[in-house]
Amino acid sequence: MSIKNNLLQIKSQLPQNVTLVAVSKTKPVADLMEAYNAGQRIFGENKIQEMTEKWEAMPKDIQWHMIGHVQTNKVKFMGEYVSLIHGVDSLKLLEEINKQAKKHNRIIDCLLQIHIAEEETKFGLNENELEGLLSSTELKSLHNIKIVGLMGMATFTENQNQIKKEFQNLKSIFDKTQSVSIVNCQLSTLSMGMSGDYQLAIECGSTMVRIGSSIFGTRN
């Protein structure tokens, strides 16, 4: 199957309210252009340097999503162009994104990462930390960021019941926080689900899925 065929097949199965992020990390620009020419405009990368090189080389109507863990000192390299930062897990990181967005006179959209998996290796806020962040006075003063939703990654396991339980947990946290009304915080996006579990994630209420290998083939 070609990248184009893979992409069109996945898109044909997605509900209209679900956004597809094509995870293109480690893939060459030629592969991304094949997806672009098939209509894909949202690409997800996990290394800022690689994403920046692709941004410079590719058409400017692409939305670039940073889906990896973000180090504060690297934010400046994507401040000019990044559309959505997925894995935001601290006020410190939000403050840095705000600072870099301000330099470019932009508002950068962010998703707060919630820790739902049983593995300790995964990043993210727990429910109490999320509540603390959303009610903090510091957050209200960040005018160059906008929190548009939550994201989370399920445990890497074959156990579908466990994955489902984790997705449902994230959906219930999302539902509870949708009532938060701060100018720079309107939660409409729930990003969960990847190549192996996106159908289950959509059943559990996901509105954004991150799919890589099912489009581009196995990672290099």
Task: Tell me the pLDDT tens digit for each residue of 51-74.
Answer: 999 999 999 999 999 998 999 999
Q: How much is the mean pLDDT over the chain?
A: 94
Under the banding of pLDDT at 50, 70 and 90, the label for residue 219 is low
Mean pLDDT confidence for 177-199: 91
Res 212: pLDDT: 96
Q: What's the CATH number where 117 sits?
A: 3.20.20.10
Residue 219 inside a domain? The answer is: no
Under the banding of pLDDT at 50, 70 and 90, the label for residue 1 is confident
Mean pLDDT confidence for 152-173: 94
Task: Tell me the pLDDT tens digit for each residue of 77-121.
Answer: 999 999 999 999 999 999 999 999 999 999 999 999 999 988 766
pTM above 0.75, yes or no: yes
Residue 23 inside a domain? The answer is: yes
Residue 68 inside a domain? The answer is: yes
Task: Tell me the pLDDT tens digit for each residue of 37-51.
Answer: 999 999 999 999 999
Residue 60 inside a domain? The answer is: yes
Res 145: pLDDT: 98
Residue 49 inside a domain? The answer is: yes
Residue 218 inside a domain? The answer is: no
Which domain range does residue 198 map to?
3-213
Domain count, the chain: 1
Residue 53 inside a domain? The answer is: yes
Radius of gyration in angstroms for the set of CA atoms belonging to the chain, rounded to a whole number: 17
Residue 89 inside a domain? The answer is: yes
Task: Tell me the pLDDT tens digit for each residue of 21-30.
Answer: 999 999 999 9
